[in-house]
Chains A and B, each alone.
Chain A
Amino acid sequence: MTVEEIATLVQGEIIGGEEYKDRQVEKIFASDLMSDVLTLKDYDNLMLVTGLCNMQSIRTCEMADIQMLLVVRGKVVTPEMLELAEENEMIVVRTDFSLYKTAGILYGTGIPPVY
């Protein structure tokens, strides 16, 4: 499933890196704890779904080689965050849905979790 299709499913909008909207999402991880994200192993084309919305959510993606980010609960992504995301060739999507609702919708598509 592409990032664009996922954005549609969660009634979200792509707010950064629109040129990467056709990227395929192979696995999804949902967490507000960046330490958990940094422990993940053995994945490619992973999307992170999080309600944590600050510079460290982007930095964590950078370090963990995650280039697809879905921010939930209607959090405001700042221009500085989008700039850092752009430097790292990331696509950023936002939705007003909660983490639970978003995760439920995405799990229902059959996209597997990391574990």
Chain B
Amino acid sequence: MDFTYHVEGGDFTNAGSTSSEVKRMLKKLGVSPDIVKKTVVALYEAEVNIVAHAYRGDISVDLENDKVRIVLADEGPGIPNIEWAMQKGNSTASPKVREMGFGAGMGLPNIKNNSDELNIQSEVGKGTTIELVNYFNK
């Protein structure tokens, strides 16, 4: 099963609505609560990143028998140094993002901690694509 959702940059009111829908879907499918939680925590952090840093993005959710694969592709400034961004505490978030309770440089490390597989590709001036995979039987 494939689903695609659109996310607008700067839309903090709706940030997390995709994660919410995916959570409902995974629960309905009977995925174990631990896997649901780690998946939606990773997804939510990544969704907030699109809202916080990008102009817009699309989230594709591919549900297979043994895993969920989520691809978040955004149009935005990109990440100049992924290694730097993956370190706890490093952030380029605006004051607005910090007011929302994020932007402390913990998002990408937390996405990694909650994903079985994680790939990040980014091109400065174009955008960032994050692919995360979580297996149901882990």
Contacts and interface: CB of A to CB of B under 8 A. Distances in A.
A86 B79 CA distance: 37
Contact of B44 (A32, A38, A54): A38
Contacts, number: 67
A59 B16 contact: yes
Interface in A22-50: 32-36, 38-39
Nearest to A32: B101
A56 B104 contact: no
B107 interface: yes
Nearest to A59: B16
A63 B19 contact: yes
B55 to A, nearest CB: 20
Q: How large is the interface on A (under 10, 10 to 19, 20 to 34, 35 or more residues)?
A: 10 to 19
Contact of A55 (B13, B33, B45): B13
A57 interface: yes
A38 B33 CA distance: 15
Nearest to A84: B20
A56 B12 contact: yes
A56 B110 contact: no
A62 B110 contact: no
Contact of B101 (A39, A57, A64, A80): A57
Contact of B102 (A34, A55, A64): A34
B133 interface: no
Contacts of A35: 45, 101-104, 106-107, 110
Interface string A54-88: 11110110111100000000000000100000000
Contacts of B23: 62-63
A52 to B, nearest CB: 5
Contacts of A63: 16, 19-20, 23, 37, 40-41, 44
Interface of A: 32-36, 38-39, 52, 54-57, 59-60, 62-65, 80
